[in-house]
């Protein structure tokens, strides 16, 4: 009997600890044993393990934040019966080409005779390019001449078109000869050209939005015979294409601004 009581006293503390552990939450039950170490009663001493919580480092957060969203890359052939993404892409890219052409003709520090060619003149026979009704030549680096002898009746309309071209030109007329002085390259003139470049870029973005809207409207007509998931994927592809064009337009504007301001 005495031997049994002695054994119970030795076992009792460990038994109580084990029973208490079973009644605790799992997060608090995790134990670790100090290997080869005993207390005065010859028992192994158990210590609750400290719960480990892992936090994302600033470096990891920055890396995750900088990752770009997954880009769409639909096979155009698979959706050709719904909408021609190739045609949409060509229309969008034509906006870039139109802006580049506009920059070359109207947003230059030095004006050349060719910069007036694109100016549209409203005549009794409809809209015509200035170089179709007038002979354009460069008399000096500071003066362009437009000879309207072949279409004298269009002289007034040509003067109006030149003034409203957005090129900051103030033509003067002598009979059927239009004299177009070229503005001096001042800081104010450079800043005016930058402003004009921004206006032209915004107009290009408006044209791009029209292309995108037309594509989306065409896509809506196919909703009855195409799954919603497919429509959603195509819409995302079109939006992605438009975003790429906007980025390209902004890039050309930045290049032109740098060129103009020196």
14 Cβ contact partners less than 8 Å away, ≥ 6 residues apart: 43, 44
Report CA 176 to chain centroid distance, whole Å: 48
The 8-class DSSP code of residue 204 comes to H
Phi/psi for 54 (5° steps) reads -95, 125
**Residue pLDDT, tens place only, 73-104:** 766 666 777 889 999 999 999 999 999 988 88
pLDDT at 254: 96
What is the model's pLDDT at position 14? 52
Its pTM surpasses 0.75:
no
What CA–CA distances, in Å, run from 161 to 5, 9, 147, 168, 178? 116, 110, 15, 12, 12
Residues 178 and 157: their CA atoms lie apart, in Å, by 11
pLDDT digits (tens, 9 = 90+) for 224-250: 888 888 889 999 999 999 999 999 999
The ranges of the chain with pLDDT < 70 are 1-70, 72, 74-78, 110-113
Q: Strand pairing partners for 138?
A: 144
pLDDT at 226: 83
């Amino acid at each position: 009997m005495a031997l049994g009581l002695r054994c119970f006293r030795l076992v009792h503390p460990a038994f109580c600890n084990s029973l208490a552990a079973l009644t605790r939450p799992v997060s608090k039950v995790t134990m670790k044993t100090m290997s080869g170490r005993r207390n005065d009663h010859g028992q192994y001493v158990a210590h609750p393990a400290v719960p480990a919580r892992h936090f994302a480092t600033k470096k990891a957060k920055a890396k995750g934040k900088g990752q770009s969203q997954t880009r769409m890359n639909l096979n155009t052939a698979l959706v050709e019966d719904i909408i021609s993404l190739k045609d949409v892409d060509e229309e969008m890219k034509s906006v870039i080409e139109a802006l580049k052409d506009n920059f070359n003709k109207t947003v230059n520090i030095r004006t050349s005779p060719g910069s007036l060619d694109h100016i549209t003149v409203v005549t009794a026979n409809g809209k015509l390019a200035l170089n179709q009704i007038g002979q354009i030549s460069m008399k000096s680096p500071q003066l362009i001449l437009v000879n309207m002898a072949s279409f004298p009746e269009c002289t007034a309309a040509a003067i109006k078109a030149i003034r409203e071209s957005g090129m900051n030109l103030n033509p003067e007329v002598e009979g059927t000869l239009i004299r177009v002085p070229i503005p001096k390259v001042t800081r104010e003139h450079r800043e005016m050209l930058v402003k004009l470049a921004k206006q032209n870029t915004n107009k290009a973005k408006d044209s791009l939005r029209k292309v995108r809207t037309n594509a989306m409207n065409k896509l809506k007509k196919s909703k009855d015979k195409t799954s919603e998931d497919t429509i959603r994927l195509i819409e995302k592809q079109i939006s992605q294409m438009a975003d790429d064009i906007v980025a390209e337009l902004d890039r050309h504007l930045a290049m032109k601004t740098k060129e103009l301001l020196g």
